[in-house]
């Protein structure tokens, strides 16, 4: 499904509304637990930019929201990911990423460290694994793992 076509065509794998269950891993800034996540993806009128909104509701009602734009890089070398969220940090330069089969890995870097988001597609489902590596940390720390179904 996501293996063929132009860089823009590969973004079509995301189109639609997705809902799923998430496992939040304990981190220094938040406890672990479960959450419900929802993604909405659509291509802009040019078909080049994948615009997306994300919302997460955690146990106890806490929310996390994000907004992103994913586009093929102008030089044809992968993708650029612009991301803004309710944590309130100043937006960083875009993350970068590429496909390997049905898996898209995106990495965003800031002065705090790097965030790795790995989307793996299987039909009308995708998994998302997010990890973070602080600027002084030697390894990635899992942040969230989720499984999402299209149109649920």
Task: Give the domain CATH number at 51.
Answer: 2.40.128.20
Structure tokens at 134: 């602080």
97 falls within a domain: yes
30 falls within a domain: no
Give the per-residue pLDDT at 1. Answer: 46
117 falls within a domain: yes
Give the per-residue pLDDT at 118. Answer: 98
**Distance between CA 34 and CA 26 in Å, rounded?**
11
Give the per-residue pLDDT at 144. Answer: 96
**Within 10 A of 91 (CB to CB), how many other CB atoms are there?**
11
Give the per-residue pLDDT at 137. Answer: 85
2 falls within a domain: no
Angle at 70 between CA 66 and CA 77, to 5 degrees: 145
- The count of structural domains within the chain is 1
Give the per-residue pLDDT at 152. Answer: 61
102 falls within a domain: yes
* Contact call for residues 86 and 96 (beta carbons, < 8 A): no
Give the per-residue pLDDT at 143. Answer: 95
Backbone phi, psi, residue 92, to 5°: -95, 170
Tokens 């044809």 found at: 76
100 falls within a domain: yes
Give the per-residue pLDDT at 41. Answer: 97
- Mean pLDDT in runs of 10 for the chain (152 residues)? 70 95 89 94 94 93 93 91 87 92 94 94 96 90 97 76
Q: Look up the domain containing 107 and give its range.
A: 7-24+35-150
The answer to whether the pTM exceeds 0.85 is yes
Q: pLDDT tens digit string along 98-120?
A: 999 999 999 999 888 999 999 99
Give the per-residue pLDDT at 59. Answer: 83
* Contact call for residues 37 and 56 (beta carbons, < 8 A): yes
Give the per-residue pLDDT at 30. Answer: 80
């Amino acid at each position: 499904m996501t293996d063929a076509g132009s860089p823009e065509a590969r973004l079509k794998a995301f189109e639609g509304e997705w809902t799923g269950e998430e496992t939040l891993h304990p981190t220094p800034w938040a406890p672990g637990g479960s959450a419900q996540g929802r993604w909405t993806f659509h291509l802009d009128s040019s078909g080049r930019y994948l615009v997306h909104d994300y919302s997460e509701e955690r146990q106890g009602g806490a929310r996390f929201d994000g907004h992103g734009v994913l586009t093929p890089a102008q030089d044809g070398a992968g993708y650029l990911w612009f991301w803004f969220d309710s944590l309130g940090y100043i937006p960083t330069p875009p993350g970068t990423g590429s496909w390997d089969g049905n898996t898209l890995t995106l990495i965003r870097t800031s002065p705090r460290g790097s965030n790795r988001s790995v989307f793996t597609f299987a039909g009308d489902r995708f998994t998302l694994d997010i990890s973070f590596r602080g600027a002084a940390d030697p390894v990635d720390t899992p942040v969230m793992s989720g499984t999402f179904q299209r149109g649920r």
